[in-house]
Amino acid sequence: MTGRRRASAEKSRPSVFWPAAALVVPAVGWFAKIEIEGGEHLPLDGSYVLAPNHYSEFDPLILAVATWRLGRAPRFMAKESLFRVPVLGWLLRATGMVPVARASTAAAAKQTLAQSTALVADRRGVIVYPEGSLTRDPDMWPMRGKTGAVRLALAASTPIPVIPVATWGVQEILPRYGKLRFWPPRRRVKMLLGPPVDLSAFAGTSPATLTAATDAVMRDVSILLGRLRDETPPAERWNPSQHGQTETGRLDS
């Protein structure tokens, strides 16, 4: 269990996160008792990309509360179209959420570079689901990853650390594509963060490089999840395209 850490400057300064946390933290606390291990791997200062597994529509709230507890302000990648929604768009911009590129390859690369540069300059972190959507794996292991997380990390002049993280237990609160369970309260949710993924062997942003780097991230996330579940992850990750499934609701590409 990770002990209490000092708050970072971004958490201790008054911001829109304060009223949001006052509402969200107690609400999530009704549903989940979050147990965190490896919190020392999340830096208290500077940029980072946090890469979690994704198997419940509720787990973003778990990630947000846990990140806040560890002293950082939780920021996610969000669909670019959401930034154009009245009120919601303002809230996303006010909290520093990062829009997902949906344009041509050249435009997307330019946007990713700008986002990466801004993360480093502002010393902010972002949570990016490498799978892009809820896992389709029948046993809820991480499936094949998309390149958004590593593309963002490697676009910086000095690569941004990618920190793998796994959670388990959220499916007891909101099963994948199921209904929210209000009772019993404070179900146990375990979270395990690992050290930054070693991306030193991946220079550049060619498709092959990004795919290989993403595989390295997904391998570390799967290993962490295996430790939480006390099981061995499958040797090969689920690939929706090989099982006649489409990947809707994705968060990156």
Q: pLDDT per residue over 151-205, tens digit each?
A: 999 988 889 999 999 999 999 999 999 999 999 999 999 999 999 999 999 987 7
User: Bridge partners of 242?
Assistant: none
Q: What percent of the chain has pLDDT over 90?
A: 66
Domain for residue 58, yes or no?
yes
Domain for residue 200, yes or no?
yes
Distance CA 192, CA 214 (A): 19
Residue 87 CA: distances (Å) to CA of 74, 82, 91, 92, 94: 19, 10, 6, 9, 10
Task: Label residue 103 by pLDDT band (50, 70, 90).
Answer: low
- Domain containing residue 237: 42-72+123-243
Task: Label residue 4 by pLDDT band (50, 70, 90).
Answer: low
Distance CA 234, CA 191 (A): 20
Give the pLDDT confidence score for residue 70 in this predicted structure: 95
Query: Any residues with CB less than 8 A from the CB of 103 and at least 6 apart, and which?
Result: 111
The residue among 161, 175, 151 whose CA lies nearest residue 57 is 175
Do residues 37 and 193 lie in contact, with contact meaning Cβ atoms separated by under 8 Å?
A: yes
* Residue whose tokens read 């990750």: 237
Give the pLDDT confidence score for residue 168 in this predicted structure: 98
Give the pLDDT confidence score for residue 8 in this predicted structure: 80
Query: Any residues with CB less than 8 A from the CB of 94 and at least 6 apart, and which?
Result: 16
| Rg, C-alpha atoms of the chain | 17
Interior angle at CA 47, CA 128 and CA 51, nearest 5? 25
Domain for residue 101, yes or no?
no
In whole numbers, what is the pLDDT of the chain averaged over residues? 89
Domain for residue 190, yes or no?
yes
Give the pair of three-digit tokens for residue 131.
């799978």
Do residues 145 and 215 lie in contact, with contact meaning Cβ atoms separated by under 8 Å?
A: yes
Domain for residue 16, yes or no?
no
Domain for residue 132, yes or no?
yes
User: Total structural domains in the chain?
Assistant: 1
Domain for residue 106, yes or no?
no
Asked if residue 127 has pLDDT above 50, the reply is yes
Kindly report, residue by residue over 51-101, the tens digit of the pLDDT.
Answer: 999 999 999 999 999 999 999 999 998 878 888 888 888 888 888 898 876
Give the sheet arrangement for strand 32-37, strand by strand. Answer: 32-37, 187-193, 162-168, 48-52, 125-127
Domain for residue 79, yes or no?
no
Kindly report, residue by residue over 195-216, the tens digit of the pLDDT.
Answer: 999 999 998 778 899 999 999 9
